[in-house]
Amino acid sequence: MTTSTDFVVNRNNLREGKFVDTALPALKPGQVLLQVDKFALTSNNITYGAAGDTIGYWKFFPAMEGWGRIPVWGYGVVMESKCDQLPVGERVYGYFPISTYLVVDPAKVTPMAFVDGAAHRAGLPPVYNQYQRVAGDSAYYAGRENEIALFRPLFSTSFLIDDFLAENDFFGGRNVVLASASSKTALGLAQLLYDHRKGQVKVVGLTSKANMPFVERTGYYDEAFGYDDVAKLDARVPTVLVDFAGNRKIVAAIHTHFGDQLRYSCIVGATHWENLAHGGSLAEAERVHLPGARPTLFFAPDRIVKRTADWGYPTLHKRIGDALTAFAASSKSWMRIVEGRGQNAIVKVYGDFIAGKTNPAEGHILVLWLATLGSP
């Protein structure tokens, strides 16, 4: 019998986390046992927890009553297989719990990917149920595993927001204000806008005072301001807000400052996660009446469904992959990968994100099982 070690957090208090052991039943025909290898941890994963009840992130990897398993993006290796198409030793990329093992029920297996067809995952957004087989992934190579784990889910969102805004001619906006400008998803969008939409829009970052020098150093923003300086933004210019912070006071201050000049308000994230805790939700932002354009939630999985229908999945995957290659190369000037191994490292990095103590110039790659980091 296999025992999995799982990191679980109190669903009512994300500050409380612990490791528990769970005995896994023997595999059923068709099932595969994956050992969870390395994974990335960023604010995005904290948002999964903070929005666990409202968006349903707790449903992916069930835990005991009152506790949840925060999903992360990373790699797994087939350790035991009752599925002929997925042999032992095969490496896959996808959505995992912070655990040593995960049992999946592969369905729709192709040389590129498969879907976890487990009953409890049916009905959840398809992007989270799909696992890429790294041997068949055109956008993978071993030397870039860490960057892929860190950036692929975040930068895909950056790419899709850039694509969505450009498709709509930026709703007439000439400035794009990115709140929580030091977050990796914002940086991906900023780089795409700065490098490819020059002359069309100006890229304006809004961040905490401590992260101002970092944001300026990335070189992706035309201008950067602190959260206390919303009044200094040029309200004469038609503007689009893309909010990654989820801080209601800041969003309200921007809407009030710009009034009708705010042409679009795109609600993406909540790095300031406590705004979502205790039953709050990102969707609530849509219901608050504010001056200017009505805040509208951007949910990347929905846009992926649309662009997959428009372009086909291989084209979408390649376009994101090509753009990600350029972003990952450019990130070397402002981010270093920090690797951590074992329970203490995970607890420390998780706690730092919860407390808002992380350094935006670092990208965290973690391993729970005790083996050498970096070994595919």
**Cα separations in angstroms, 304 against 117, 124, 188, 297:** 19, 14, 17, 15
- Of 61-69, 93-101, 263-271, 368-376, which segment contacts ligand NAP by CB under 6 A? 263-271
Please state, in angstroms and rounded to a whole number, the distance separating the CA atoms of residues 182 and 238: 23
List the one residue out of 332, 323, 346, 370 whose CA is nearest residue 45. 346
Q: x/- binding map, residues 91-110, to ligand NAP, per CB under 6 A?
A: --------------------
Q: Please, which residue, 77 or 204, has the CB nearer to ligand NAP?
A: 204
Q: How many residues bind ligand NAP (CB under 6 A)?
A: 30
For residue 137, count other CB atoms closer than 10 A to its CB: 18
251 near ligand NAP, rule: CB under 6 A: no
Q: Please, which residue, 173 or 360, has the CB nearer to ligand NAP?
A: 360
Exposure pattern of 161-171 as b/e (b: 16+ CB <10 Å)?
bbbbbeeeebe
Please state, in angstroms and rounded to a whole number, the distance separating the CA atoms of residues 97 and 40: 11
Residues 1-20 that bind ligand NAP (CB under 6 A): none
Bridge partners (DSSP) of residue 338 are 364
Report the nearest approach of ligand NAP to the CB of residue 207 (Å). Answer: 3
Q: Helices then strands (H, E): number in the chain?
A: 10, 18
Write the DSSP string, 187-242: HHHHHHHHHHSTTT-EEEEEE-GGGHHHHHHHS--SEEEEGGGGGGS-TTS-EEEE
Report the nearest approach of ligand NAP to the CB of residue 294 (Å). Answer: 17
356 near ligand NAP, rule: CB under 6 A: yes
Q: x/- binding map, residues 314-353, to ligand NAP, per CB under 6 A?
A: ---------------------------------------x
281 near ligand NAP, rule: CB under 6 A: no
Residues 199-238 that bind ligand NAP (CB under 6 A): 207-208, 211
299 near ligand NAP, rule: CB under 6 A: yes
Q: Please, which residue, 49 or 106, has the CB nearer to ligand NAP?
A: 49
81 near ligand NAP, rule: CB under 6 A: no
Please state, in angstroms and rounded to a whole number, the distance separating the CA atoms of residues 375 and 101: 17
- Of 22-30, 235-243, 256-264, 271-279, which segment contacts ligand NAP by CB under 6 A? 271-279
- Of 64-72, 140-148, 175-183, 287-295, which segment contacts ligand NAP by CB under 6 A? 175-183
Q: Please, which residue, 77 or 181, has the CB nearer to ligand NAP?
A: 181
Report the nearest approach of ligand NAP to the CB of residue 273 (Å). Answer: 6
Binder among 133, 255, 272, 317 for ligand NAP (CB under 6 A): 272
31 near ligand NAP, rule: CB under 6 A: no
The enclosing H or E element of 264 equals strand 262-267
Q: What are the helix (H) ranges across 61-208?
A: 126-129, 145-167, 184-196
Report the nearest approach of ligand NAP to the CB of residue 225 (Å). Answer: 11
Sequence-ordered list of residues with C-beta below 8 angstroms from that of 345, at least 6 positions apart, any chain:
366
Q: Is the dihedral of CA 56, 59, 62, 64 positive or negative?
A: positive
The DSSP output letter for 186 is H
Q: Please, which residue, 63 or 242, has the CB nearer to ligand NAP?
A: 242
239 near ligand NAP, rule: CB under 6 A: no
State the amino acid at position 369 in one-letter form.
W
Are the C-beta atoms of residues 106 and 115 closer than 8 Å to each other? yes
Q: x/- binding map, residues 126-165, to ligand NAP, per CB under 6 A?
A: ----------------------------x--x--------
Please state, in angstroms and rounded to a whole number, the distance separating the CA atoms of residues 63 and 60: 10
Which stretches of the chain bind ligand NAP, using CB under 6 A?
Answer: 42-44, 47, 154, 157, 180-185, 207-208, 211, 244-245, 268-273, 298-300, 353, 356, 358, 360
